[in-house]
Amino acid sequence: MKDVFNLALLREIADELHRAHAPFDADAFVARCMDGLDRLELTARAAHIAEAMHAHLPRPFAEAAAVIEAALGPELPADGKIGHAAMRYMPHLAFVQTYGLDDYEAAIRLQAELTKRFTAEFSIRAFLEKYPERTYARMLAWAVDDNAHLRRLASEGTRPRLPWAPRLRAYQHDPRPVLELLELLKDDPVPYVRRSVANNLNDIAKDNPALTIATCRRWAKHAPEGRAWIVRHALRSLVKAGDRDAIRILGGAENPSVRIGRIAIAPQPVVLGDAVRLSFAIESTAPQPQRLLIDYAVHFVKANGGARPKVFKLRALTLQPGEKAVLSAAVSFAAMTTRRHFPGHHRIDALINGEAHPLGGFEVTG
């Protein structure tokens, strides 16, 4: 992914800035960007290019911001499909975050334009930290803006636990201001925005489960489908953890009565780099229909030989008395940046409305 920032793209960025501001030295900018670029990873490359922008754009920041805004391409459609091409604006946002903190209005204006072409969810956090009340007020305004990208930023930018970003400790401690924002967005017409609302609530649930439960219980009453989807997605971590209130909000049966059979786990053993396939049948043994939220947990072996479960979503379904369903999944043991795999015995459980049902295990070999 880091290779998106290559010589060809840097020349494009340089030409755009030169067209917006004739004194901009495109060749010198590209040369400065390329110096040491190949040794850097993705975010470091963006920061390196931002430093080159700072060296070649006019001062003060407001003048540089005006050049960048004039050089911007068209807005993205509000469908959440950002793609590699839009990553060209990562350096622009790094520039704002690094050099624009002391010029609030110019920096906020530029981030509002950049988020329509990539996302300002990372850079805006520095402004929430330095200017919490002022930036929160701007978020409230964006939450009712006609532009879906700005509405989405109001939610995504305030996520307390946004991945790959510093946590917003104030909102972890007291998420009520964030919940006030999300109230404005819970029935947003754009799925791209609603997905962010759900992810924000899921973040809040990790530090403030009771507030999340209360919010989702209220939102679930007479909810249109878009809001019902938010509630389901927002409660996913609590459901994985077996939280009874979350399962109850989603209609899950109390003390589900089921029979598990026809369990298959193959291949045996599994070689590191391959995948294991799991299937099992579930039969309802209750005298009435049951709503079942079905996940599964793989107890991955750690470096020290112990094991830690990771829960994966599987399916939600309603079974009539005596009705059966067959469920299946695959677990990859390919190398990945987010999880390192180790040889050893791995157990698998089915989680039915939070209750664990052992399915067996398998060996992983090197």
Q: Which of 328, 327, 331, 292 is nearest to 311 (CA)?
A: 331
Domains 2-249 and 258-365 share a fold: no
Q: Which two tokens stand for residue 46?
A: 């963006």
How far, in Å, CA of 327 to CA of 52, rounded? Answer: 53
What per-residue confidence (pLDDT) applies to 175?
Answer: 98
DSSP 3-state of 268: coil
Q: Which residue is it, tokens 């004039």?
A: 70
The reported pTM is: 0.90
Work out whether the CA dihedral 172, 216, 294, 267 comes out positive or negative: negative
Run of H or E including 258: strand 258-266
CATH (residue range 258-365): 2.60.40.10
How far, in Å, CA of 105 to CA of 158, rounded? Answer: 19
Q: Which two tokens stand for residue 304?
A: 């020290």
Q: Which of 171, 150, 153, 151 is nearest to 161 (CA)?
A: 171
What per-residue confidence (pLDDT) applies to 115?
Answer: 97
Give Cα 51 to chain centroid, integer Å. 28
How far, in Å, CA of 216 to CA of 337, rounded? Answer: 33
What per-residue confidence (pLDDT) applies to 319?
Answer: 97
| CA 360 to each of CA 101, 113, 117, 293: distance values in angstroms, whole numbers, following the listed order | 55, 53, 48, 20
| CA 52 to each of CA 2, 102, 136, 153, 281: distance values in angstroms, whole numbers, following the listed order | 17, 19, 31, 27, 59
What per-residue confidence (pLDDT) applies to 74?
Answer: 94
How far, in Å, CA of 233 to CA of 182, rounded? Answer: 14
What per-residue confidence (pLDDT) applies to 81?
Answer: 76
Sheet with 324-332, side-by-side order of all strands:
258-266, 275-284, 324-332
What per-residue confidence (pLDDT) applies to 2?
Answer: 86
Q: Which of 45, 148, 38 is nearest to 87 (CA)?
A: 45
**Could you state, in order of their start, the residue ranges of all structural domains in the chain?**
2-249, 258-365
Q: Which of 288, 278, 291, 295 is nearest to 330 (CA)?
A: 278
**Full pLDDT tens readout for the chain, 366 residues:** 889 999 999 999 999 999 999 999 999 999 999 999 999 999 999 999 999 999 999 999 999 999 999 999 999 988 877 777 789 999 999 999 999 999 999 999 999 999 999 999 999 999 999 999 999 999 999 999 999 999 999 999 999 999 999 999 999 999 999 999 999 999 999 999 999 999 999 999 999 999 999 999 999 999 999 999 999 999 999 999 999 999 999 999 888 999 999 999 999 999 999 999 999 999 999 999 999 999 999 999 999 999 999 999 999 999 999 999 999 999 999 988 778 999 999 999 999 999 999 999 999 998
Q: Domain 2-249 adopts which CATH fold?
A: 1.25.40
How far, in Å, CA of 147 to CA of 141, rounded? Answer: 11
What per-residue confidence (pLDDT) applies to 84?
Answer: 72
What per-residue confidence (pLDDT) applies to 55?
Answer: 98
What per-residue confidence (pLDDT) applies to 23?
Answer: 97
